Structure 1
Amino acid sequence: MQCNNCSVAELKFEIKVEGESNLSALPQIVDHMERRGISVKAKEQGLLVPESGAKEFMDFCRHFMEFEQVTFRVNTGAWKPFAEIETVMEMQWIDEVIQKELITCHYQPIVDAAGKIFAYEMLARFQNEDGSVIYPNEIFPAAKNRGRLYALDRVCRMTAVKYAAALKDVKAFINFIPTSIYSPEFCLRSTTLLANQLGVNPEQLVFEVVETEKVEDLEHLKTILAFYKEKGFEYALDDVGEGYSTIEMLADLKPNYMKLDMQYVQGVSSDSDKQKIALQFLGKALEVGSVPLAEGIEERADFDWLKQQGYQLFQGYYFGKPAASPLEVNFASSAR
């Protein structure tokens, strides 16, 4: 059984109105919707309706109500100006992407200091049913606007586990958004069951906290990571310099891997400011017992400098762009 946030059930729109004229119109609106067979629940200052009802209300509101005194929210999310409701409805296409799992994964290599492939990061790729590409900068805002971020994160995780099953003797880094998980025992059960069904060794999977949603509830994140650890999985922190600034915090989270963001990697061989940050990061990682990983490497000089300082894992276009199939190339010769 899935929770409502992880499924793609019809959205519920809660509409709140203010102003005497707006409030006086509510009984007429309820009566109109009931005659049309639309499920509607009257509230003290508004309505709770499905998307079809929200469209009816939108038409009525545009012509007969004071627009600026109406707000709405989706599935108990944040209240927004009613003028933004059309944007939510225009992004209904995200529901089909999730329901039909129009998602694949590409593999990007992560190598060790000798140039040997250590792992692949599983990067989600999205498409419409006609095969046209949907870019991440389109799909994640759409999912967030429609309250589908939880469902999208779940289907991306599940897809990544399926693609990880094709890998042998190397690890798979799988991104996840911690704010999309209410209860690890409930929300992550399907992920662990799928890994077991596919015969994927838990030690092969590394779940990576992505930077898309900054983590404010540290205790909740610790609960999620403890669940992963209990199940035998490893975990990584991305964008550590931005969101996890103190040694105490990092020591508390105990990540297996820490990623240095590409903004500090690219050009580091000749930039003293970036070198200072990279060395501070390295010191933090080693102090808390994490493996330091530099991402976004595009130049040999940056790779050489980071390797000489003690970085252990590396990722970036220098070693390979994301590809539909895992690369079989050994980069040892280029890493010398």
Structure 2
Amino acid sequence: MKPVCAGCHEDVRLPFEFKMAFQPIVDLNAQRVWGYEALVRGANGESAFSILSQVNDDIRYRFDQASRVMAIETAGALFEGRDLRLSINFMPNAVYEPSACIQKSLAAARRAQFPHDNLMFEFTENERMTDPAHVQRIVDAYRKFGFWTALDDFGAGYAGLGLLARWQPDLIKIDMELLRDIHLSRAKQAIIAGIVGIARTLDIEVLAEGIENEQELAVLRAAGISLFQGYHFAKPALMALPAVPMMRENSTIQIAI
């Protein structure tokens, strides 16, 4: 018998349409595209804010479910069976019972023939977590399903090292504000060196996001980081995979929008 979630309301309709954009995550050590992050956009490519600002408590669960399913099904068509990870943002406060609330995502992965160990769910420390124990249950459940877990915006928001100590995700994404103009700041360089050292000790992957230029990239490469994301490599593409020059496992593929 499948687990049942008392908070899951199938009859709740969304008052807006949305699509997904995809931005590559590159592994510079391997010189290949490691995966893609799915980012919500308006039906005509409008900003994420234009959609997320309309999400209230009445539709939070339905939106979270619908965006996960769209991300997985679209990626399944775009990836064409290649060994690429898909990173999906999720709202911890929209998950009532982890094993029940993940059922639609599992069904979408089966339809798309998407392996569980190539799915990564990001939770951000910018969203205040009203029940840390509940988030712990989510992380534990997702690991049992074989998913990766990632802590987004690390170094900003309501916590940092506290969340890292408590949950120890598979990957942390360092907040772009810590990385902006890092080549000009000894303080930022020292902080990043500390984060990389801690992550290495805990067997946690580190991803630097929001990279915009070669100077930032050079400093972060020297610090031992190999996973990167940002406009320096490619901007998100609506319902498509943007080309990344000189990276393997990538092509520009589009589906009907």
Give TM class, smaller chain: 0.7 to 0.9
Q: Could you tell me which residue of structure 1 aligns to residue 49 of structure 2? A: 137
**Shift of residue 262, structure 1, vs aligned partner:** 0.5
Matched, 1:118 2:34: yes
Q: Quick one: higher RCO (CA 8 Å, sep 6+), 1 or 2?
A: 2
**Shift of residue 215, structure 1, vs aligned partner:** 2.0
Q: Could you tell me which residue of structure 2 aligns to residue 105 of structure 1? A: 20
Which of 31, 50, 62 pairs up with 1:151? 62
CA offsets, 1:301-322, max 9 Å, x none?
A: 1111101111121000000000
C-alpha contact 2:155 2:178 (8 A) present in aligned 1: no
Which of 3, 9, 14 pairs up with 1:95? 14
**Shift of residue 332, structure 1, vs aligned partner:** 5.2
After TM superposition, where is structure 1 displaced by more than 6 Å over at least 4 residues in a row?
none
Aligned length: 239
Distance 2:45 2:235 in 1: 17
C-alpha contact 1:116 1:330 (8 A) present in aligned 2: no
SS of aligned partner of 1:123: strand
Specify every segment of 5 or more residues in structure 1 that has no aligned partner in the other structure, as ranges. Answer: 10-93
TM-score (norm 1): 0.65
Distance 1:171 1:215 in 2: 26
C-alpha contact 1:239 1:259 (8 A) present in aligned 2: yes
**Shift of residue 298, structure 1, vs aligned partner:** 0.3
Distance 2:11 2:49 in 1: 21
Tell me which amino acid in the other structure corresponds to 1:95. Answer: L
Distance 1:156 1:251 in 2: 29
Specify every segment of 5 or more residues in structure 2 that has no aligned partner in the other structure, as ranges. Answer: 249-257
Tell me which amino acid in the other structure corresponds to 2:24. Answer: P
Distance 1:104 1:163 in 2: 10
TM-score (norm 2): 0.84
SS of aligned partner of 1:226: helix
Matched, 1:193 2:104: no
Q: Which structure has the bigger radius of gyration?
A: 1
Matched, 1:279 2:198: no
C-alpha contact 1:291 1:312 (8 A) present in aligned 2: no
**Shift of residue 139, structure 1, vs aligned partner:** 2.4
SS of aligned partner of 1:155: helix
**Shift of residue 331, structure 1, vs aligned partner:** 3.4
CA 1:292–1:6 in 2, change beyond 3 Å: closer, same or farther?
A: farther
Distance 1:313 1:196 in 2: 28
Query: 1:276-315 maps to which residues of 2 (within 5 A)?
Result: 276-315=190-229
Q: Over aligned residue pairs, what C-alpha RMSD do you find?
A: 2.3
Higher helix share: 1
Distance 2:164 2:124 in 1: 15
Q: Could you tell me which residue of structure 1 aligns to residue 246 of structure 2? A: 331
